Amino acid sequence: MTRVVVLGAGIAGHTAAAFARKWLGRADTVTVVSPKPDYNWIPSNIWVGVGLMKPERVTVPLAPVYERHGIEFKQASAAEIHPEGDEHDPAPYVSIEPAQPSTSGTLEKVHYDFLINATGPRLRFDKTEGLGPDGHTLSVCTAEHAAQTAAALDELVERMRRGERKRFLVGVGHGTCTCEGAAFEYVVNLEFTLRARGVRDRAEIVYITNEYELGDFGMDGMHLKRGGYITPSSIFSESLFAERGIDWITRAHVQKVEPGRAYYETLEGEEREQGFDFAMLLPPFSGVDLKAYNRGGEDITSRLFQPNEFMRVDADYEPKPYEQWSARDWPRTYQSPEYGNLFAAGIAFAPPHAISRPRTSPSGAPIAPAPPRTGMPSAMIGRAVARSVVDMIHGSDGPTRTASMAEMGAACVASAGANPFTGTAVSMTVFPIVPDFERYPEYGRDIERTFGEIGLAGHWIKILLHHMFLYKARLRTGWNLIPE
Amino acid sequence: MTGPANPKTLYVTKPTRWTLFLRTFLPWQLWRFIRINLKMVGIIRRSHRSGTRS
């Protein structure tokens, strides 16, 4: 009997657990450890955040799904990895803290033969004073946050209907944030919603970002072939904002937020401030603060994890300047170089470096997006890792599957307004996600496979994806036929 | 002479009325729906193919 333990039940963890269960024999066990009782289809949180959906429509309770498929579910937070066991117990295990209040503070051992770390990000609102739902800004990172944001928006819309003018600030709340795509999606949906509710003329909307140019999205931007030209994504993003009357601030590091006011530094070193009545600012991410110990109880966290708390895998972590970054730096198997039975999937793996060019302000503050690792790549990594683990259980010497972000593309649909007849969305594909200037010397990507287009068709695709991926998350009949 | 509310928009590409019309014109969007889906399926298939045995 082999024990596979998956930490996390987000896109990567849930995918890995589901495929591992499907491919393993009944004598083997698959256990998922997640602090939350529900799976959250995060891309649709945007619609919760503008009040179009309730949180229940973007979440799936995990316990019944896992019970139906023979996956053990422990609602708990992972605290420690003991890849060599301990002095009294040589079998590898993770220590978890159950979520039930009655058992809070006590650690439980969960033994494993293979461990997949898919813990996702820790939302680091604490990196910026006053940032986050406990401070003075809102978020759409979780379904609960998004519901709070929608409630705040409803209140403001009511006041606008009584004639008040309001200022909305949307974007990222720190110079090192990722997920600019989500902030972008939220701001255009917010604008659409304010129009639909008849108060757009009383709203000033400002977008603030750490991107050097709009449309960077943490991928160093992209080039698209349209209208006889190969055009940078910044042109399309600026056009979308200008058309909707959204103002924008780029190259900004938000340093502090007070009630109704955000203070930020620019890449040029200027200190500025921006007032607001409503602010939805996404936080920077780190890993989830897992500790690791060897058999003697010695702390080996720094061997398994990078300083940003993401897990080291088969990437090239040697620091090097932007000009020397290579597609080959990116991991392929996601296996820990320290322990062959330990893998990371999704946001939990440590990228070798950013994708966007790193930049710092004169004061030394880094102002550049971190690399995105969500959605399609996370699911594909989760599946590849599950296949490797299953093959290793069946006798392979090492990982059998790869899922390098420098070798895979991504299809992405960013909603720009939700309505079956008047809504639009930006449909994008990039190939590969991480530019490969050796294969594609001019732009780093295959121009024939990298495209973007805005229209109602994109909105229909977004709706289709919402239902398809929630169906897949429920592991209903034929779930495995839906591609990642 | 008065300028635009946001002078930045003077230097930005903006869609024509025809482009805006096509964005929600049902027959055209039905065709785009098929075309974009096919493009995306192509990317997904190619990405899955790249994850072959290491």
- Domain membership of residue A461 (yes or no) is no
List the CATH number of the domain containing A104: 3.50.50.100
CA distances (Å), origin A281, targets A177, A187, A363, A413, A414: 10, 10, 23, 21, 18
- Domain membership of residue A348 (yes or no) is yes
Contact B44 A455 (CB under 8 A): no
Q: Give the neighbor-by-neighbor strand order of the sheet with A410-415.
A: A410-415, A425-430, A451-455
CA dihedral A44, A17, A378, A185 (to 10 degrees): 10
User: Looking at A187-228, which runs of residues are DSSP E strands?
Assistant: 203-208, 223-226
- Count of structural domains within chain A: 1
pLDDT at position B51 is 66
pLDDT digit string, tens, across residues A368-416: 999 998 788 999 999 999 999 999 999 999 999 999 999 999 988 988 8
- Domain membership of residue A225 (yes or no) is no
Strand A108-111 versus strand A93-98 pairing type: antiparallel
- Judged by a CB distance cut-off of 8 A, whether residue A248 touches chain B is yes
Phi, psi of A184 (to 5 degrees): -60, -45
- Domain membership of residue A353 (yes or no) is yes
pLDDT at position A99 is 85
Q: What is the mean pLDDT of residues A258-269?
A: 97
- Domain membership of residue A117 (yes or no) is yes
Q: Distance between CA A331 and CA A317 in Å, rounded?
A: 10
Q: Give the distance from residue B5's alpha carbon to the nearest chain A alpha carbon, in angstroms.
A: 9
Is the predicted pLDDT of residue A343 greater than 90, yes or no? yes
Write out residues 178-197 of A within 8 Å (CB-CB) of B: none
Contact list in B for residue A453 (CB cut-off 8 A) is 32, 36
CB atoms within 10 A of CB A392: 20
- Domain membership of residue A302 (yes or no) is yes
- Domain membership of residue A89 (yes or no) is yes
Q: What is the mean pLDDT of residues A200-222?
A: 96
- Domain membership of residue A252 (yes or no) is no
Describe chain A by its helix, strand, coil percentages, rounded to 5. Answer: 30, 25, 45
pLDDT at position A455 is 95
CB atoms within 10 A of CB A465: 20
CA A301 to chain CA centroid, nearest Å: 23
User: Over chain A, what is the mean pLDDT?
Assistant: 95
pLDDT digit string, tens, across residues A15-50: 999 999 999 999 999 999 999 999 999 999 999 999
Which is more confident, B54 or A51?
A: A51
Provide the token pair at A96. 């978890």
Q: pTM of the prediction?
A: 0.94
pLDDT at position A171 is 98
Region of residue A245 (phi > 0: left; psi between -120 and 50: alpha; otherwise: beta): left
CA distances (Å), origin A77, targets A66, A80, A94, A98, A281: 18, 10, 10, 6, 26
Q: What is the mean pLDDT of residues A223-252?
A: 94
Which is more confident, A427 or A101?
A: A427
Range of the domain at A67: 3-123+287-393
Contact A455 B8 (CB under 8 A): no
Q: What is the mean pLDDT of residues A344-362?
A: 97
Contact A457 B5 (CB under 8 A): no
User: Looking at A42-123, which runs of residues are DSSP E strands?
Assistant: 59-61, 72-82, 93-98, 108-111, 114-117, 122-123
Alpha carbons within 13 angstroms on the beta-carbon side of residue A146 total: 28
**Mutation to test the B interface, candidates A408, A431, A461, most B Cβ within 10 Å:** A408
Is the predicted pLDDT of residue A141 greater than 90, yes or no? yes
Provide the token pair at A434. 């991480």
pLDDT at position A302 is 97
Assess contact for A190 and A183: CB atoms under 8 A.
Answer: no
Strand A72-82 versus strand A278-282 pairing type: unpaired
pLDDT at position A155 is 97
Contact list in A for residue B46 (CB cut-off 8 A) is 409, 431, 449
Q: List all residues 6 or more positions away from A359 whose beta carbon is below 8 Å from its beta carbon.
A: A212, A251, A267, A366, A367, A368
Q: Give the distance from residue B7's alpha carbon to the nearest chain A alpha carbon, in angstroms.
A: 10
pLDDT digit string, tens, across residues A82-128: 999 999 999 999 999 998 766 666 889 999 999 999 999 999 999 99
Region of residue A91 (phi > 0: left; psi between -120 and 50: alpha; otherwise: beta): beta
Q: Number of A:B CB contacts under 8 A? A: 110
Segments of chain B with pLDDT less than 70: 1-5, 50-54
Contact list in A for residue B48 (CB cut-off 8 A) is 380, 483-484
Task: Indicate the residue type of A344.
Answer: A
pLDDT at position A225 is 87
Write out residues 320-349 of A within 8 Å (CB-CB) of B: 332-333
Q: What is the mean pLDDT of residues A347-371?
A: 96
pLDDT at position A226 is 84
**Contact residues of B toward A, CB < 8 A:** 5-6, 8-9, 12-15, 22-24, 26, 28-30, 32-33, 36-37, 39-44, 46-48, 50-54
Contact list in A for residue B53 (CB cut-off 8 A) is 400-402
Strand partners, A254: A264
Residue A351: DSSP 8-state: P
pLDDT at position B45 is 86
pLDDT at position B54 is 52
Of B5, B32, B47, the CB nearest to A408: B47
Q: Distance between CA A94 and CA A83 in Å, rounded?
A: 8
- In degrees, rounded to 5, the angle at the alpha carbon of residue A356 between the alpha carbons of residues A183 and A238 is 50
pLDDT at position A36 is 95
pLDDT at position B4 is 63
pLDDT band at A297 (very low <50, low <70, confident <90, very high): very high
Integer distance in angstroms from the first to the last C-alpha of chain B?
Answer: 66
Contact B54 A332 (CB under 8 A): yes
Of A241, A384, A457, the CB nearest to B36: A457
